[in-house]
């Protein structure tokens, strides 16, 4: 197992894990300084392409953005989402995961689901491809984005799936919009780190979509906290540029050849 992954696992119960998304070198090079994990998420479908669902994200899209992200990462563990429809069975998953890793030089891949994908995960890990799991709300298959774990039957399934993923060999599990007490129970039960998004502070770490964090996305989700307002900063900069152009203050001799 890679040293980066072993170091990440050792953080469980010791220090919190920080993770954010990136889809380009410029953003990756900034967040790499502060993150343990940089995730090239299929959330790029809605964030960059205005897709109504992550199901429209293609393997080639993920690969091209990941190649850019790779250039911006020096220290973080780089994980790439396997997009919808690319791991329907073990053979297909192995072929596509190998393609992602060979073309992007990422450290690991992430896929969604529990019991249904356990054998696929085992196949990937047997072939030395590190896997991050993902339980709770699964954007690639979700029909609604209500939080998970309110009903007893649902709680039992998610808890069971977390144990199955651990046994299959995942090095961490993303818990998306999982009820707090269930997230706490899973985190205590499994030996690998849990990474929460809308799943309480009980998780071993947290992940957010960077565009949400910096205020560049208008998403209104309970789990999002905006730490900046980049939209306003861009608006202010463009307005100043327009005024300078219209009043002939730009370009000056300093900005001309």
Q: At what angle do helices 118-126 and 90-104 cross, to 10 degrees?
A: 50
- DSSP per-residue codes, 86-142: S-SSHHHHHHHHHHHHHHH--SEEE--BSGGGHHHHHHHHHTT--EEEEEES-TTT-
The one catalytic residue among 166, 176, 179, 185:
176
> How far is the C-alpha of 230 from the C-alpha of 228, rounded, in Å?
6
- Beta-bridged to residue 135, according to DSSP, are 175
Give, as one character, the DSSP assignment of residue 178. Answer: B
For residue 176, indicate whether it is catalytic. yes
Using CA atoms, how far residue 95 sits from 79, 121, 232, 233, 255, in Å, is: 17, 13, 43, 43, 50
Using CA atoms, how far residue 179 sits from 55, 146, 196, 220, in Å, is: 25, 10, 11, 19
Using CA atoms, how far residue 85 sits from 112, 140, 193, 211, in Å, is: 11, 9, 26, 25
Burial of 9 (0-12, 13-18, 19+ CB in 10 A): middle
**Of 106, 124, 123, 136, which Cα lies nearest the Cα of 207?**
136
* Active-site amino acid positions: 176
């Amino acid at each position: 197992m890679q040293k980066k992954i072993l170091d990440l696992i050792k953080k469980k119960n010791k220090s919190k894990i920080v993770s954010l998304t990136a889809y380009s070198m410029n953003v990756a090079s900034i967040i790499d300084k502060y993150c343990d994990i940089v995730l090239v998420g299929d959330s790029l479908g809605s964030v960059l392409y205005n897709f109504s669902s992550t199901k429209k994200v293609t393997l080639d899209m993920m690969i091209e953005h990941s190649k850019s992200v790779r250039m911006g990462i020096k220290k973080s563990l780089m994980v790439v989402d396997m997009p919808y429809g690319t791991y329907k069975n073990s053979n297909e998953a192995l072929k596509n995961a190998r393609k992602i890793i060979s073309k992007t030089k990422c450290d690991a891949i992430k896929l969604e689901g529990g019991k249904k994908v356990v054998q696929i995960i085992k196949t990937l890990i047997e072939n030395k491809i590190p896997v991050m799991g993902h339980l709770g709300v699964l954007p690639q298959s979700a029909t609604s984005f209500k939080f998970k774990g309110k009903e007893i039957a649902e709680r039992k399934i998610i808890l069971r799936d977390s144990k199955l993923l651990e046994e299959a060999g995942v090095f961490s599990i993303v818990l998306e919009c999982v009820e707090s007490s269930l997230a706490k129970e899973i985190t205590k039960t499994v030996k690998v780190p849990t990474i929460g998004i809308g799943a309480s502070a009980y998780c071993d770490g947290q992940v957010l979509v960077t565009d949400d964090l910096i205020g560049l996305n208008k998403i209104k989700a309970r789990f999002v906290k905006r730490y900046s307002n980049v939209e306003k900063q861009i608006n202010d900069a463009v307005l100043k540029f327009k005024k300078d152009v219209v009043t002939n203050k730009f370009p000056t001799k300093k900005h001309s050849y």
